[in-house]
Amino acid sequence: KKHLEWYDRDLKSFRISKALDRVLEPNCVIKTPEVTVSIIKELNRRGVLANALAGRDEKEITRVLNFLIRNLSQPRFAPVLINAAEIIIDIYLPVIGQSSVVDKKFIVLQGLVEKEIDYQRELLETLGMMDMLFATMTRNGSAPVWEHVPAELPEEKTESPRQPSDTDKNS
């Protein structure tokens, strides 16, 4: 019989809060944050993440918030954790103001989520610009970008902008 981790056993038995608690323990969070993220992702896929996050006391919600704060800026985790952060904010918004510790964590989390969303927006804008450039080059039949790059790049100079040379005038 295959050995299952405790959190897998909890998932199989539909003990979703217990499974989440297990992967939020310090040894799991520090050594294998990808396991914690995968459980959060699985709970969300099943539609029970909000249930697993609800009803937590100050210590438990602080543990969740600390994990989100520590890992939200990692690109491989960002989509899952931003979604989890939105769910937590929706659940615990009515009780903000009851614990200064949790309130401070929420403020930090809010700043991180906003920064990550801005970063994602900038990436999408950059990708859009690149798509336009590539589409224009393809439509005009231009040579690929790498053909425009000289084989050897000139040495960097700190002089004023380059003046046209005699060879430039002839071409």
- Tens digits of per-residue pLDDT, 47-91? 999 999 999 999 999 999 999 999 998 989 989 999 999 999 999
Assess if residue 119 is contained within a domain.
yes
Tokens of 139: 């439509």
- The answer to whether the pTM exceeds 0.75 is no
- Rounded Cα gap, residues 61 and 70, in angstroms: 14
- Rounded Cα gap, residues 22 and 7, in angstroms: 6
Containing structural domain, residue 12: 6-139
Contacts with 17 (C-beta within 8 Å, 6 or more apart), sequence order:
51, 52, 55
Q: What is the pLDDT of the chain when averaged over all its residues?
A: 83
pLDDT higher than 50, residue 158: no
Contacts with 43 (C-beta within 8 Å, 6 or more apart), sequence order:
16, 19, 20, 49, 52
Contacts with 46 (C-beta within 8 Å, 6 or more apart), sequence order:
16
Assess if residue 165 is contained within a domain.
no
Counting the structural domains of the chain, the total is: 1
Instruction: Place 151 in a pLDDT band, splitting at 50, 70 and 90.
Output: low
Tokens of 125: 């804008």
Of residues 143 and 75, which shows the higher confidence score?
75
- What does the pLDDT read at residue 171? 47
Contacts with 19 (C-beta within 8 Å, 6 or more apart), sequence order:
7, 8, 10, 11, 39, 43, 52
Assess if residue 154 is contained within a domain.
no
Instruction: Place 160 in a pLDDT band, splitting at 50, 70 and 90.
Output: very low
Assess if residue 18 is contained within a domain.
yes
Are residues 61 and 104 in contact, defined by beta-carbon separation less than 8 angstroms?
A: no
Assess if residue 96 is contained within a domain.
yes
Mean per-residue pLDDT, 134-158: 63
Instruction: Place 41 in a pLDDT band, splitting at 50, 70 and 90.
Output: very high
Mean per-residue pLDDT, 7-28: 87
Assess if residue 60 is contained within a domain.
yes
Assess if residue 156 is contained within a domain.
no
Instruction: Place 43 in a pLDDT band, splitting at 50, 70 and 90.
Output: very high
Assess if residue 44 is contained within a domain.
yes
